[in-house]
Structures are given as structure tokens and as C-alpha cells.
Amino acid sequence: MRKYILIAVIAVVALLPVAAWADTGGTAEATLTFDAVINMIVDGSAWLDLTIDQPMIAEWALAGLTGPIDWDDGGDDVTVTVQSFTAFAVYSSYFATSTTLTLPGDLGDQDAFLYLDSFALQWEQVTASTGPFDYASPPMPGTGDLTKLWEGGATMWTSPYEEERSYNVQWDPTQLSGGDLNAGDGMDVTIYFVVTDTST
């Protein structure tokens, strides 16, 4: 009989709520917040300064200048990497400043001066405290003022967990034909990259 009673008692204890096992308890809580869902890395270390000298002018005079040419050696100058939990789109634009030229007035077509491969970059300054820039509009320009480079899906679920694109910077010297260029003229050129969350 004791055997059956013991079994019965065990069965009853197993059915009791957790509170019957102890008179103390607790919980642990934490909040998960996505401060960002996209990370973008821009490596422009291969994009070097360009100085126009007499041999270059002589070479161009023989070949003729008819449109965009390589900024330097024709290799990739800028690499953009996106790591994302969501669908995204990458846009770009450029801006330039000069102490000797009037910009963009001295450019024939400001939206046809600088290129990433075959993508003509629009003239648009993007302002933010840090870069690369997580796109938000306003106050940043609308996407219509930027050049779309590519769209992608979430990368964090499949190796290599990122998408990468490399671009060759090109420029069109003919867009400076309307200006009165002098030795010593120059400009500081900045290419901006912004990424958007296309799922919202």
C-alpha cells in the first residue's frame, strides 16, 4: 500500500503550480532596440588626388576629349559595403568647392561632370555630423536629387552577410570648357553615399 500511496503523492506534487515549490521568485528583463538596421562602409582610399600636367594635356590633345575619362589608372577607386537586416537602396551624389573656380557655375552640366562607372552623379551636398550617412528626408535631399547605385535585400541571414560594390571614378573635362582655367586652379571633390531602408 505504501508503494501506491507514494506514487499518488508524487503525482499530486507534479500537478501543483510552481508557487507550491517555493515561496520566492523573480524575473529578468531587458529591452532590445534596433538603433540601426543597416551598416554601410565606404572605402575611398584608392581614390587619389589628380594633378593635370603638360604631358597629360599633350596626350589628351592627340586623343581628343569627348566625354568621361578615368580619374586615374582605370582601376576601382571606391568600394561600398552594406550589411543589412532589411531591404535597402544605395544612392550617391557629389559636391565640390574651390577658391579659384565658381562652382557649379563653371561646369557646363553639373550633373554630367563626375561618374561612378557609368552612373552620372548629381550635384548635391549631403550634410550630416558623421558619415557614411543613414538617409533621412527631410532634412537631407530627396532621393530624386541623388543617383541610385543599387538595391539589395537583407544580407544578415546568408553568408557573406554583406553586399559589396566597387566603382571606378571618372570625370568629364569637357564640362569645364566654358570656364577660364588658369594654372593653379583646382577643386576639392567629395562623393557622398547614402543608404535607405526600402522596406518602410
Task: List, for residues 115-157, the tens digit of each pLDDT value.
Answer: 999 999 999 888 764 444 544 544 455 566 789 999 999 999 9
Q: Do you find a cis peptide bond into 68, omega within 30 degrees of 0?
A: no
Instruction: Enter the C-alpha cell of residue 10.
Output: 508524487
Share of the chain above pLDDT 90, in %: 56
Q: What is the average pLDDT value for the chain, to the nearest integer? A: 83
Q: Quick one: CA dihedral 131, 135, 139, 141, positive or negative?
A: positive
Least trusted range by pLDDT, from 19-23, 58-62, 89-93, 194-198: 19-23
pTM metric for this prediction: 0.80
Q: What angle do CA 148, 149, 153 make, to 5 degrees?
A: 100
Q: What is the pLDDT of residue 143?
A: 64
Q: Is the pLDDT of residue 90 over 70?
A: yes
Q: Is the pLDDT of residue 167 over 70?
A: yes
Pairing of the two strands 133-134 and 69-70: unpaired
Q: Is the pLDDT of residue 193 over 80?
A: yes
Q: Does 129 or 111 have the greater pLDDT score?
A: 111
